């Protein structure tokens, strides 16, 4: 059975690491498929309404994570998905140990920019922090910010880390930094050393459906899978990380399949009620989230850019303070691009040729489920 993050399938072989799958597909000229726990999700008839209320499922999922792990940490952006995860805990008096925000230290807000996503990290300052001040202060939850430059420099100045991450599954600097946070952070490493099982929770994506004739389908997208850490080699450190570091997608999980199915069904209902509306992530937010979660957008909303325009948010890699680390990263990119076919990567047209490419490997979808 696939792991909770899915597996990549090439021919008859399965890979946990996307890079490994892409290299083998390149060498054998085969296609890659992503199996996201199809053995679990195919057991359900997605056309049959899930009877539970969506808020009840959020509560059960939060309690499930609390019961499973010694320490529960939430990656918080100030967007709707992570804000809703936050409230699934605090609204139901389920203990959340920590809230972590990550961003480049050199990031500058541009209030006059018309470019979608250029102010993506501004959500932290103008939405996340004010929302936390209103709802979290005094609840005993640890809140902190981690800077990409610090993570990147720590990662790429340590040969042991570099050897583990050389099978890079995320081509952009920001994606690699996000993956590396839970590996390099001293606070979390002390918890691993103490034998504590730590959950690093992220929201993943809301359902985006496709319409086929009179029907609707949904497929999981692996664009969020870069958070998964599969060490390049087994040693004492990597085994400790695998044992105690656990990335959990709150909504997409084989441990509570009804949650993703319910979200998809509510999205279908919203689209049927508004057939002229685009099928994007915002079509069903009023059905998926309570009003006090939606209110975070009244504070600030940058919009989520696609991989091309979002490349603007990767430019912190050119900070002078991480010149050495940037050089190591460029070598990692060169190695990755030399071993993976160009047809399996997405170039970023917004990055000049002399800069590290901030594109990604092609995104893959799971089996389609008919709603």
Specify the pTM: 0.93
In a domain, 57, yes or no: yes
DSSP 201-223: EE------EEEETTEEEE--BGG
Question: Where would I find the beta strands (DSSP E) of 172-286?
Answer: 198-202, 209-212, 215-218, 245-249
Count of CA atoms in the C-beta half-sphere (13 A) of 74: 31
Question: Could you list the residue range(s) of the whole structural domain that residue 162 is in?
Answer: 51-370
Nearest to 280 by CA among 80, 82, 86, 109: 80
User: What pLDDT was estimated at residue 86?
Assistant: 98
> CATH number for the domain including 244?
3.40.50
Question: 206: buried, middle or exposed (CB in 10 Å: 19+, 13-18, 0-12)?
Answer: buried
In a domain, 43, yes or no: no
In a domain, 255, yes or no: yes
In a domain, 274, yes or no: yes
Scan for tokens 């085994």, then name that residue: 239
In a domain, 339, yes or no: yes
Angle at 148 between CA 147 and CA 151, to 5 degrees: 95
The rounded average pLDDT for each run of 10 residues, N- to C-terminus, in the chain (371 residues) is: 82 90 94 94 97 98 98 96 97 98 86 72 92 96 95 86 75 81 91 96 89 89 71 78 91 96 96 81 92 95 56 73 85 84 68 47 90 95
As for how many domains the chain has, the answer is: 1
In a domain, 11, yes or no: no
Contact predicate 206/270, CB 8 Å: no
In a domain, 35, yes or no: no
User: What pLDDT was estimated at residue 306?
Assistant: 47
Scan for tokens 């690491």, then name that residue: 17
Count of CA atoms in the C-beta half-sphere (13 A) of 42: 9
In a domain, 297, yes or no: yes
């Amino acid at each position: 059975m696939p792991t909770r993050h899915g597996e990549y399938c090439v021919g008859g072989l399965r890979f946990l690491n996307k890079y490994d799958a892409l290299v083998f597909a390149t060498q054998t000229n085969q296609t890659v498929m992503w199996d996201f726990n199809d053995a679990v999700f195919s057991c359900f008839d997605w056309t049959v309404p899930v009877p539970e209320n969506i808020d009840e499922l959020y509560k059960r999922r939060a309690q499930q994570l609390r019961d499973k792990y010694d320490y529960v940490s939430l990656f918080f952006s100030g967007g709707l998905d992570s804000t809703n995860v936050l409230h699934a805990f605090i609204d139901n008096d389920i203990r959340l140990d920590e809230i972590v925000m990550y961003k480049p230290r050199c990031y500058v807000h541009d209030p006059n920019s018309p470019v979608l996503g250029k102010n993506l990290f501004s959500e932290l300052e103008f939405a996340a922090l004010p929302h936390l001040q209103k709802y979290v202060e005094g609840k005993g939850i640890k809140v902190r910010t981690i800077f990409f430059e610090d993570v990147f420099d720590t990662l790429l100045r340590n040969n042991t880390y570099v050897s583990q991450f050389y099978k890079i599954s995320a081509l952009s600097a920001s994606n690699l930094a996000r993956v590396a946070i839970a590996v390099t952070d001293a606070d979390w490493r002390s918890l691993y050393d103490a034998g504590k099982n730590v959950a690093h929770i992220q929201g993943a994506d809301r359902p985006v459906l496709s319409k086929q004739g009179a029907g609707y389908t949904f497929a999981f997208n692996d664009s969020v899978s870069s958070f998964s850490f599969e060490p390049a080699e087994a040693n004492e450190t990597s085994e400790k990380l695998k044992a105690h570091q656990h990335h959990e997608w709150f909504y997409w999980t084989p441990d509570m399949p009804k949650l993703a199915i319910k979200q998809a069904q509510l999205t279908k209902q919203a689209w049927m009620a508004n057939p002229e509306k685009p099928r994007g992530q915002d079509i069903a937010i009023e059905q998926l989230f309570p009003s006090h979660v939606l209110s975070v957008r009244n504070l600030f909303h940058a919009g989520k850019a696609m991989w091309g325009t979002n490349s603007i948010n990767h430019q912190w890699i050119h900070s002078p303070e991480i010149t050495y680390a940037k050089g190591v990263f460029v070598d990692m990119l060169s190695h990755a691009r030399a071993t993976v076919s160009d047809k399996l990567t997405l170039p970023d047209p917004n990055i000049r040729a002399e800069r590290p490419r901030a594109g990604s490997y092609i995104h893959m979808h799971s089996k389609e489920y008919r709603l």
